[in-house]
Amino acid sequence: MELDQNKIPQATAKRLPLYYRFINNLHSQGKQRVSSKELSEAVKVDSATIRRDFSYFGALGKKGYGYNVNYLVTFFRKTLDQDETTKVALIGVGNLGTAFLHYNFTKNNNTKIEMAFDANAEKIGDDIGGVPVYHIDEVEERLNEDVSVAILTVPAQAAQAIADRMIEAGVIGILNFTPARINVPGHVRVHHIDLAVELQALVYFLKHYPMDEEEV
Ligand code: ATP
C-alpha cells in the first residue's frame, strides 16, 4: 500500500472522497467486494476511469471478483487522513453558512466545523448546530493551529479581506462559496464553489447537450 501521493493526478485525487464515501458504506454493510461496474453506477464515473484511478493506488482488481472492499477502505482512510479529524472554521453565518452549520459533515468524512465567525453582533454568542459563533474580530485569538481549513460564506465584497485574515491566522485551505475570485499565496489552496454558476452551467448543458438516453 505504498503510495507516492505526487503521482496521483489531481483529477483522480478529486474523485477519492466520492469513492471513499461509497466504499465506506459497503464496508459498513459488511460487503467484501465490489465490481467496477457497481462502483461506476453508484458514483457516476465510467468504469474505465475507475480502473485507471484505482491502478494509481495499486488496487488492480480481479476479473470476476472486482475489488477488495477492506483493502480500499484502509487505503482511502490512510490517504484521505480519515483517521484524523480536520478542523474547519466557517465565516459568515447567513443563510448558506447556517445551513452548513446544521449539516452533519462528520457523517461521511472526518471534517468538523469547530467554530464560526460573523460580523453581525446579533449572531454572536449563538450556538448553531452545536457550533459556537464568535465575532470576526476574535479570529486571531480563537483560531488555533489545528484549524487549517476555512469555509467562506460571507458576501463577495468581504471575501478577500476575510481570506487574508484567515491565512494570516494559519489557514491553508479555503472553500470559497462567494462569487469573488480571491488571491492567495502559493501555499494556500482555494476551491471555489459558486452555486449560481453551477446551476447556470447545468441549465446550459441540459439545453445544449441533452443526455443520451442510453447512458442513463
Ligand atoms: P447567504 O449569502 O449565506 O445566503 P445572507 O443573504 O443571509 O446570507 P449575506 O449578506 O450574504 O447574508 O452575509 C452572509 C453573512 O456574512 C451574514 O451573516 C453577515 O453578517 C456576514 N458578514 C458580512 N460581512 C462580514 C465580515 N466582514 N466578516 C464576517 N462576517 C460577515
- 99 and 74 belong to one structural domain: no
Whether 29 is covered by a domain: the verdict is yes
- 64 and 132 belong to one structural domain: no
- 164 and 112 belong to one structural domain: yes
CA of 118 to the centre of ligand 1 (A): 7
Structural domain count of the chain:
2
Rg (CA), the chain: 20
- 27 and 69 belong to one structural domain: yes
The tens digit of pLDDT for each residue in 109-131 reads 678 899 999 999 999 998 999 99
- 11 and 114 belong to one structural domain: no
CA of 150 to the centre of ligand 1 (A): 15
Whether 163 is covered by a domain: the verdict is yes
For the chain, what percent of residues have pLDDT higher than 90?
47
* Mean pLDDT score, 66-79: 84
| Domain boundary pick from 78, 112, 142 | 78
With contact defined as beta carbons under 8 Å apart, do 166 and 184 qualify?
A: no
CATH number of the structural domain spanning residue 173: 3.40.50.720
- 44 and 90 belong to one structural domain: no
Give DSSP secondary structure letters for the chain: ----GGGS-HHHHHHHHHHHHHHHHHHHTT--EE-HHHHHHHHT--HHHHHHHHHHTT---BTTTBEEHHHHHHHHHHHTTTTSPEEEEEE--SHHHHHHHHS-GGGTSSEEEEEEEES-GGGTT-EETTEEEEEGGGHHHH--TTEEEEEE-S-HHHHHHHHHHHHHTT--EEEE-SS------TT-EEEE--HHHHHHHHHHHHHHSPPPGGG-
Whether 211 is covered by a domain: the verdict is no
* Mean pLDDT score, 172-186: 95
Nearest to 66 by CA among 97, 98, 90, 42: 42
CA of 187 to the centre of ligand 1 (A): 27
* Rama region for 23: left / alpha / beta (φ>0; ψ in -120 to 50; rest): alpha
Please, is 106 exposed, middle or buried when counting C-beta atoms within 10 Å of its C-beta (0-12, 13-18, 19+)?
exposed
The tens digit of pLDDT for each residue in 8-58 reads 788 888 888 889 889 999 999 989 889 888 889 999 999 889 888 888 877
What is the pLDDT, as a whole number, of residue 216?
Answer: 41
What is the pLDDT, as a whole number, of residue 2?
Answer: 44
- 72 and 124 belong to one structural domain: no
- 103 and 165 belong to one structural domain: yes
The tens digit of pLDDT for each residue in 198-213 reads 899 899 988 888 776 6
Q: List the domain range (segments joined by +) for residue 153.
A: 86-197
Protein residues with CB under 6 Å of any ligand 1 atom:
91-97, 117-120, 123, 136, 153-155, 158, 162
**pTM (predicted TM-score):** 0.72
What is the pLDDT, as a whole number, of residue 58?
Answer: 73
Q: Rounding to the nearest 10 degrees, give the CA dihedral for residues 51, 57, 62, 64.
A: -50
For residue 120, which atom of ligand 1 is closest to its CA? Answer: 20
What is the pLDDT, as a whole number, of residue 109?
Answer: 65
For residue 98, which atom of ligand 1 is closest to its CA? Answer: 3
CATH number of the structural domain spanning residue 37: 1.10.10.10
- 126 and 190 belong to one structural domain: yes
